[in-house]
Structure 1
Amino acid sequence: MLPRYPVLSSWISTGPAPAFVDAVLRLGAARSSSYVCFANVHMVVEAHRQPAFGQVVNRAALVAPDGSPVAAAVRWFGGPAQPRVAGMDALPLLLAEAARRGQSVYFYGTTPEVLGAIEARIRQELPELRLAGLHAPPFRPLTPEEDAEDVARINAADPDLLFVALGCPRQEQWMAAHQGRVRACMLGVGQAFMTYAGLEKRLPAWARRLWLEWAYRLWLEPRRLWRRYLVTNSRFVWLMLRHAAAQVGRKESEPATW
C-alpha cells in the first residue's frame, strides 16, 4: 500500500493520483474486503474529535487526501509534498481504468434518480465497463433483515469495486461495519455521485486551486453545511496553528549544538 503520514490523528496515504487508482484496482482484483476513505477537513476534524471514528478512518486500506488543506497539511506534519486526490476526480479515473482492466463496479447510495443518471453516463461513455449493479437504500437506518438483503444482493452481483455514497461519517462507518461481509473494495465517495451524474457542477480548476470549493458548496446548501464548514474549518485552522506553535516550541527547547 501507499506510504502514510499523520495529519492530526488521521494517517493519510500519499502518492500521485495514478498510484491511488492502481492501488484501488489491485484491492478490487484481489477481492479484498477492504475500504477506502477520501478525507476532507470535516473528516479529519471529526476523526480527531471522536477517537472511535478516528479508528474507522485509520483502519481503511487507503485514506486519500480529498481536501486541498488536508493534502497541504501532509507536508506541514513532516510528510512529502502531496497533491489533492479528490473523490470527485478519482471516480471517473477509477471507472475508466476498471473498464480497461475488465473489472466490475457497483453503486450504493443516494437516490434512484442520481443512480439513473450515473448509469446513463456510463452506458454512453464507457459501454465496455461491467456495471454489476446500482441500489439506493432508504434514508433511514436499515433493519438487520434489510441490511442482510443488501449485502446478499451486492455479493451476488460480485463487483470488484463498490462505490458508497451515504454521507460522512455514515458511509465510513457503514464500510467499516461491512468489512469482512462485502466481498469488494468499498470506496466512500459521497458527493462524487452527484457530480459524476451531472446534477451538480464543480468549480473551475483555478477556483479549486485557491481552496474555494468549500465556499461554493456552502453557497449551494447553506442550511445543511454552515456548521460543517464554518465551525469545522475554523477548528481545523486552530488545530493547525496549535501544531505549528508546538513545533516552534519544540525546536526552541532543543539544546544548541556546536
Structure 2
Amino acid sequence: MGVKISAIDYEHGVDAIIRAAKERSPLAMTALAVHGVMTGFYDPVHRRRLNALDMVTPDGQPVRWALNWIHGIKLPDRVYGPTLTLKVLEAAAKEGLPVYFYGSKPETLDRLLDNLHRKEPELKVAGAEPSKFRRLTADEKEEVINRIKNSGAAIAFVGLGCPRQEVWVYEYRNHLPMPLMAVGAAFDFHAGTVSQAPPWMQQRGLEWFYRLTQEPGRLWKRYLLLNPVYLTFAFLETLSISKRPVLMPTGTEPEESYG
C-alpha cells in the first residue's frame, strides 16, 4: 500500500533504539496500526514522511498479518507501541539513559511519571512537557529543540496522536541527536487515563473493536470505514494485482510544526 513497515521484533527494536541513544545518534520511529498505515495510503505527502523515518513498527496485528501474507515472512508478534515503550524504558533505566516525554496533557504526564517511577524507580526523567494542541511558531519550535537538547535526554517519547506525532518526529529528526519515538496512546495507557483491550482481544486483532466501544463518537469513522478498505487492499496486494501509490519526490513535503 506504499507505506514501508519494518519487519522486526521487540528485541531488534529495543537494541536499535538503545544503541542510537548511547551513540547520541538521531533515530526517528513510529508504531503504525491500520489507521496509521491508511493516513499514508491516502495522503502522498504524509506517505513520504513515513517512508523517511528510520523505523516503522507493525503496531497492530492486522499490519503484522499483512506483512506475513504479502512477503511470506513469519513475524511472531506485532511490535506494539505501548509495549515497546515499556521495554525501552526498562532498558534505559538499566543503562542510565535519561528520557524526555513530549505531548499529551499536564495531568496525564503527571500520572504517567508517577506510575513509571513506581514501575522503574531507577529511570532518569530529564524532562516532560505537554502539547500545546496547535501548530508551533518557528521560535517555539526552536525553544522546544533547545529544551530537549539542554535537558540531557538520550531518548524522547512523543505522544501527540496519529498523524501529528509522525509529523513531529519527521520534522525534528535532524535537529535532535537521539531516538525520537512516536508512541501513540502509550502515554494514556500507562498513565491509566485510557483502558487497554484485554490481551485476548489484542492477540486476535480486535483492539480496534474495544477502543470503538470506549469512544464510538470519535472513532467510528476511523475503524468502520478504514478497516474494510485496508483489508481489501492488503488482500489485493497479496495477490499482486493492486497498484502501489506513487511516492512523492524528495523535498516536496511542507513542514508543519505540531506541538
- Give the TM-score taking structure 1 as reference length: 0.89
Q: Decide which of 167, 180, 183 is 2:174's aligned counterpart.
A: 180
- CA displacement 1:144-178 (0-9 Å, x = unmatched): 22221111111111211100011111110111111
Task: Answer whether contact 2:8 2:57 (CA < 8 A) is retained.
Answer: no
- In 1, the alpha carbon distance for the partners of 2:174 and 2:238 equals 39
Aligned length: 241
User: Which residue of structure 2 aligns with residue 5 of structure 1?
Assistant: none
- CA displacement 1:184-237 (0-9 Å, x = unmatched): 210000101011112222122111112110011111111221111111111101
How far the C-alpha of 1:135 sits from its partner, in A, is 0.3
Q: Decide which of 22, 36, 47 is 1:54's aligned counterpart.
A: 47
Which one-letter code corresponds to 1:9 in the other structure?
G
- In 1, the alpha carbon distance for the partners of 2:185 and 2:138 equals 26
Which 4+ residue blocks in structure 1 deviate beyond 6 angstroms?
A: none
User: Which residue of structure 2 aligns with residue 42 of structure 1?
Assistant: 35
User: Which residue of structure 2 aligns with residue 70 of structure 1?
Assistant: 63
- The structure having more radius of gyration, on CA atoms, is 1
Which one-letter code corresponds to 1:150 in the other structure?
V
- In 2, the alpha carbon distance for the partners of 1:122 and 1:246 equals 45
- In 1, the alpha carbon distance for the partners of 2:130 and 2:178 equals 18
Q: Decide which of 114, 121, 124 is 2:115's aligned counterpart.
A: 121
Higher relative contact order (CA 8 A, sep 6+): 2
Q: Decide which of 237, 240, 250 is 2:231's aligned counterpart.
A: 237
Task: Provide structure 1 residue ranges, at least 5 long, that are not aligned to the other structure.
Answer: 1-7, 249-258
Task: Answer whether contact 2:108 2:187 (CA < 8 A) is retained.
Answer: yes
Matched, 1:162 2:156: yes
- In 1, the alpha carbon distance for the partners of 2:239 and 2:112 equals 46
User: Which residue of structure 1 aligns with residue 253 of structure 2?
Assistant: none
Identity among equivalent pairs (%): 34
User: Which residue of structure 2 aligns with residue 216 of structure 1?
Assistant: 210
Q: Aligned Cα RMSD in Å? A: 1.5
| Higher deviation after alignment, 133-142 or 9-18 | 9-18
How far the C-alpha of 1:247 sits from its partner, in A, is 5.5
How far the C-alpha of 1:94 sits from its partner, in A, is 0.9
Give the match's secondary structure for 1:195. helix
Task: Provide structure 2 residue ranges, at least 5 long, that are not aligned to the other structure.
Answer: 243-259
User: Which residue of structure 2 aligns with residue 253 of structure 1?
Assistant: none
| Higher deviation after alignment, 206-215 or 45-54 | 45-54
Matched, 1:26 2:19: yes
